[in-house]
Every structure is written in C-alpha cells, then in structure tokens.
C-alpha cells in the first residue's frame, strides 16, 4: 500500500477550508492507502499560544478528524509531540536546509509580517523543515493538502533530494495531492484571499463548530458582485467560491450547479449553500460533542497511534542518523 501523511495545526477550531481543502479528502483516501494523520502541536507553538488553549485545541482537532469520518482502526492518528523522532529529524534536516530558501517561503513572509519583528521566532522560520521531517519519517508517497501548502511540499522534496544526493537513497520523495478545484476555499468577506481562522473578521470564515444560525448568517453576508448571474468565473470570485463549496460537498460539478441556478438570484443561492453546509456539518458536530465528552476514548486512540507511528518513524530516523555519521548506540 502507498503511504499518506498529512497534518493540521491545533491553532484554533478548524474551518470549512480545512475540512473541504484537506480533511474530506483524507477520509476518501483512508481505505486505499496506509495513512498517518497527525495533529501538529509542535508547529502550533511557532506563534504564541496559551497552554490551556493548545491542550484544548489539540484534542478538538483529533475529535474533528474522527468525527469527519477517519476510522482510527484503519488509519494512524497521533499527536506530533508524542513521537520525538519528529523533533530529532527536524534538527538534522535543519542542517541541510538553507537560510535563503526558507526566507523565500510565502507563508513565513505573510506570518512574519503580522508579528512584531522582535517576536518572530526561529521556529516560525524553520517551520517548513519540521514539516519536511513529518512527511519524510513515514516515507510518504502522497501528501493531501490544500493549495496553500504547495510551496512547503516543494521544499520538502528539495530537502529530501538534497539529502539523498549527498548520501544515498534515504527518503522517499513525496508528491503533493491537491485537488483541482476547491483546494482553496476563500474568505466569505474578501474572496481574493483564503479562508483562514486567523482572519480578524469572523464573518469571513465558517468554523466546523459553528451553529446553524451562525452559518446561515455568514452565508447571507457573503460578498458577491454586481453581475447578478451565477457563473463559475475568476471575474466573480465570491460566487465562484460558493460554487466550489457547493461542489465539494454535493459532488456536483460546477457546470451542473451553474445550470441548476440559471435565472436564479444570489440570495437564493447563498441560502441553499448555507443549508448544504449546515446539513453536512450537523452530524459531524454531534459526533465532536460526543467525542469531547469521552476523553478516555480519545486518549486510547492517540496513545495507540503514537506507538504505531513511533515504530515507523524510528526506522527512518536511525537510517538518516547513520548516513550523516552519528554512532548508533544500540
Ligand atoms: P494548516 O493547519 O494551516 O491547515 C490544515 C490543512 O487545511 C488546508 N487549508 C485549506 N484548504 C483549502 N482552503 C483553505 N482556505 C484552507 N485553509 C487551510 C491546508 O492546506 C492544510 O492541508 N503546515 C501545515 C500543517 C502540517 C502538515 C505537515 C501538512 C505540518 N506538517 C505535514 C502536511 C504534511 C499547516 O499549517 O496546515
């Protein structure tokens, strides 16, 4: 079986963007591949975090994974900080990554612009190296992510190839797995930028935990345009985004949706998309509530997951340590 690795940061509740851009695809892939899905808490502390929020969000993300349909019997679910090989390979790969290439990462540039320059941590700068370690430890073939992670996947490939060329074949060079449309769910308020939970305007994003009323209200306020015609076009980014959301959930093609709404107005369309989202999220939300009341069950899953992940990760780490000339202790 081919191997899949992916992860999400517990930096707050997940958004509809995380769900449609990544999580929903993870669920589809789970029976065909050997999947490792991680909650990347070590990545989350690259920007300031309250410990109690981090603890809460980490469990919440794990609950979201399961509630969205990942089967803990079938896939390996774990928390990044539980498998120390991530930090260890991360350090090693830091020594094979360049200041220049890390400085060119657009996510770093964006995130560091938002911070006081004295508060930009070294961790934020080397963030993509830890991400490379996550992926390479499992010799992953495919990494299902949203469009915004493409550049991080490219640097992961570069680092893997560089290491393999310097020593010998050590890491599988992974391919990104990014769906064609809907891999970038846009802000409901500024449809030119991606939907993100760090947006200061909470009308711009839908959280997986948003109640039906909040979802309806946010879609009603979604920014569209003055064309008045429902078309799947870059000239109408707001409408295009709504079509994408519809399409990702209903599996209808954008063309089918456009045909269905011929001659109809935006208000009706927005209300319909809101209902589709409400219906999609309702069973997930009920399951999340249930899981968060069953912390013992979640604990069993992440402990078991870490054991499985650890065994695989250790093998790769050992191999990489040997290649660079570290003396094995066992
Ligand atoms: P993160 O936590 O920002 O996002 C998790 C996943 O959700 C996708 N995503 C979106 N997709 C479509 N539209 C959006 N608006 C949207 N917002 C987020 C992201 O592309 C991602 O797939 N660096 C990663 C976490 C990470 C990781 C890894 C991923 C750490 N190690 C190893 C894959 C493999 C991140 O910050 O994702």
* pLDDT band at residue 180 under the 50/70/90 scheme: confident
Q: What angle do the packed helices 85-94 and 122-137 form, to 10 degrees?
A: 110
Fold type of domain 3-178+295-324? Rossmann fold (3.40.50)
Q: Is the CB of 43 under 6 A from ligand 1?
A: yes
Mutate to test the pocket of ligand 1, among 6, 18, 175 (most ligand atoms within 8 A of CB): 18
Average pLDDT of the residues in 52-67 = 97
* pLDDT band at residue 132 under the 50/70/90 scheme: very high
Torsion angle of the four alpha carbons 153, 156, 162, 168, in this order, in degrees rounded to the nearest 10: -110
Exposed / middle / buried, residue 80 (Cβ in 10 Å: 0-12, 13-18, 19+): buried
For residue 119, pLDDT beyond 90 = no
Strand order in the sheet with 3-8: 76-79, 34-39, 3-8, 142-144, 175-177
For residue 251, pLDDT beyond 90 = yes
With H, G, I as helix, E, B as strand and everything else as coil, classify residue 233.
coil
141: DSSP letter: S
Please tell me the residue having the least CA distance from ligand 1 atom 19: 146
Which CATH superfamily hosts domain 212-290? Answer: Tyrosyl-Transfer RNA Synthetase (1.10.240.10)
* pLDDT band at residue 127 under the 50/70/90 scheme: very high
- In whole angstroms, how far apart are CA 13 and each of 58, 94, 262, 279, 283? 9, 30, 36, 19, 17
197 is catalytic: yes
Please tell me the residue having the least CA distance from ligand 1 atom 14: 17
Average pLDDT of the residues in 123-129 = 97
Q: Is the CB of 40 under 6 A from ligand 1?
A: yes
User: Residue 113: left (phi > 0), alpha (psi -120 to 50), or beta?
Assistant: alpha
- Kindly tell me the sign of the dihedral angle through the C-alpha atoms of 152, 153, 158, 161: positive
Average pLDDT of the residues in 77-82 = 98
Average pLDDT of the residues in 266-292 = 97
Atom of ligand 1 nearest to the CA of 194: 15
Residue 45: its pLDDT value, please? Answer: 96
Q: Is the CB of 25 under 6 A from ligand 1?
A: no
- Among residues 24, 184, 194, 240, the one annotated as catalytic is 194
The reply to whether 287 sits in an annotated binding site is no
- Cα 133 from Cα 92, distance rounded (Å): 9
194 is catalytic: yes
The answer to whether the beta carbons of residues 186 and 243 sit under 8 Å apart is no
Residue 182: its pLDDT value, please? Answer: 63
111 is catalytic: yes
Average pLDDT of the residues in 171-198 = 92
Please tell me the residue having the least CA distance from ligand 1 atom 20: 146
Q: Is the CB of 248 under 6 A from ligand 1?
A: no
Q: Is the CB of 145 under 6 A from ligand 1?
A: yes
The reply to whether 12 sits in an annotated binding site is no
The residues spanned by each domain of the chain are 3-178+295-324, 212-290
Atom of ligand 1 nearest to the CA of 149: 20
Residue 157: its pLDDT value, please? Answer: 98
């Amino acid at each position: 079986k081919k191997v899949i690795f992916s992860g999400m940061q517990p930096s707050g509740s997940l958004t509809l963007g995380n769900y449609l851009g990544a999580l929903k695809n993870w669920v589809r892939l789970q029976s065909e591949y050997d999947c490792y899905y991680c909650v990347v808490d070590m990545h989350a502390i690259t920007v300031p975090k309250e410990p109690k929020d981090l603890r809460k969000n980490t469990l919440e993300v794990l609950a979201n994974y399961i509630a969205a349909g990942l089967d803990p019997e079938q896939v390996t679910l774990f928390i990044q900080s539980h498998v120390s090989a991530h930090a260890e390979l991360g350090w090693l790969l830091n020594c094979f990554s360049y200041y220049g290439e890390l400085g060119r990462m657009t996510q770093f540039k964006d995130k560091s612009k938002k911070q006081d320059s004295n508060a930009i941590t070294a961790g934020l700068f080397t963030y993509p190296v830890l991400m490379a370690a996550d992926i390479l430890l499992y010799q992953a073939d495919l990494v299902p992510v949203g469009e915004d992670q493409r550049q991080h996947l490219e640097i992961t490939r570069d680092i893997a190839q560089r290491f393999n060329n310097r020593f010998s074949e050590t890491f599988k060079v992974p391919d990104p797995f990014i769906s064609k449309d809907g891999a970038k769910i846009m802000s409901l308020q500024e449809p030119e930028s991606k939907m993100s939970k760090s947006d200061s305007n909470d009308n711009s994003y839908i959280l997986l935990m948003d109640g039906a009323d909040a979802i309806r209200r946010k879609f009603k306020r979604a920014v569209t345009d003055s064309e008045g015609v429902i078309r799947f076009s870059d000239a109408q980014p707001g409408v295009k985004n709504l079509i994408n959301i519809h399409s990702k959930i209903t599996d209808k093609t954008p063309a089918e949706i456009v045909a269905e709404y011929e001659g109809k107005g935006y208000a009706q369309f927005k209300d319909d998309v809101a209902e589709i989202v409400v219906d999609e999220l309702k069973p997930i939300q009920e399951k999340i509530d249930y899981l968060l009341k069953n912390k013992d069950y979640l604990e069993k899953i992440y402990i078991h997951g870490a054991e499985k992940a650890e065994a695989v990760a250790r093998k790769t780490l050992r191999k990489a340590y040997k290649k660079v000339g570290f003396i094995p202790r066992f």
